[in-house]
Amino acid sequence: MPEDLVDDIDHEILALLREDARRTLSDIAGRVTLSTAAVKRRIDRLQQIGVITGFTVQIDHAKLGWGIEAFTELRFAGTTKVADILNTTTRMREAQAVFTIAGDPDALVWLRVRDMAHLQRTIDEIRRHHQVTGTKTLIALDSWTRGHDRPTP
């Protein structure tokens, strides 16, 4: 998609929606100095052209008992297809995202678990997959995500 389909005001609207997807059209309009109707048309257009693919909720996973995040590098047998790499973990509740990678490792899996024992069981489950030849797990101590306020410690 050519960059000229999205202008600076569209980027401002997107940033405001990333901060709070429940923000009112009126609030957005006031911040970008457009009418509410103009903001609605822009958001509708951004949805039509596929820039906005949905709206979501942010969850404090620690309050649900799933506060540990880890990233596991996966290595696979040389004959493994990319689709098979993705299918290795996408059905696991613990898997938040799977990224296939050109080079070594073959994939990076973002995991969310309750505790260290849960992480160990999850890694063991991944390793049982017959095409996985190796793993390396990194545990996240803290994180930051663009467009999200960082809670104060």
Q: What is the pLDDT of residues 86-137, one digit of tens each?
A: 988 989 999 999 999 998 999 999 999 999 999 999 999 999 998 999 999 9
Upper half-sphere CA count for residue 109 (Cβ side, 13 Å): 28
- In sequence order, the β-bridge partners of residue 135 are 74
* pLDDT tens for each residue of 2-41: 567 899 999 999 999 998 999 999 999 999 999 999 999 9
Of the candidates 78, 80, 68, the residue with the CA atom closest to the CA atom of residue 122 = 68
Q: Please count the other Cβ atoms lying within 10 Å of the Cβ belonging to residue 82.
A: 11
pTM score, whole prediction: 0.78
- Rounded CA gap, 64 and 53, in Å? 26
